[in-house]
Amino acid sequence: MLAKKTGFILVALFVIVLQACGQKSDKEKKQMKNNNLELATFGAGCFWCVEAIFQRVDGVEKVVSGYSGGHVKNPSYKEVCNGTTGHAEVCQLSYDPDEVSYEELLEIFWQTHDPTTLNRQGNDVGTQYRSVVFYHNEKQKELAEKYKAELDEADIYNDPIVTEISEFEKMYVAENYHQNYFNENGSQPYCSFVIQPKVDKFKKVFKDKLKN
């Protein structure tokens, strides 16, 4: 009888151990997810607009605004706006490729700005507002070049696409007040008249890619 009871106890302990091994803490799950994240870096005019779009994409975990592609170290917003540093205003995305692919990000990128206007988006003029894909690996480079070529061949736009495709080297994070700008300053005139219409259009066209 004692042996039988001991056997039941051992089986119960074994089941508990298996359940404990199969369950991961929230911290462990978050760490696993973070390890799976990849980077994508895009410039498509004012980074306030780009940030507002990609923050709403399902699978994009984080968006950071900054400056990339120039020759000046640690540039300020004022310096970049002067157009003398060579930097473009960009947003760097940390995304989960299991939830949103790089191809889908490229689709959103090219459909949410005008890639045919050189160094300009609307009233924002200067090299800092250029259309650019900064690729992080050869796969991203191949996909970006392929997508760009297919768009040109399909005559989607009246003019040729001028989007720059360059290797990512470094990004300098923009000042704190630029981060999460639209979400925190939605009532500002630029947000109301420029960013909000872009966000509204994005939501209609890409409703299947929105975060819940």
Nearest to 65 by CA among 83, 43, 80, 85: 43
Nearest to 193 by CA among 46, 83, 42: 46
C-alpha to C-alpha distance for 155 and 147, rounded to whole angstroms: 13
Task: Provide the annotated active-site residues.
Answer: 46
Amino acid identity of residue 105, one-letter, is L
C-alpha to C-alpha distance for 147 and 177, rounded to whole angstroms: 34
Backbone φ, ψ for residue 171 (5° rounding): -125, 135
Q: Bridge-partner residues for 91, per DSSP?
A: 42, 65
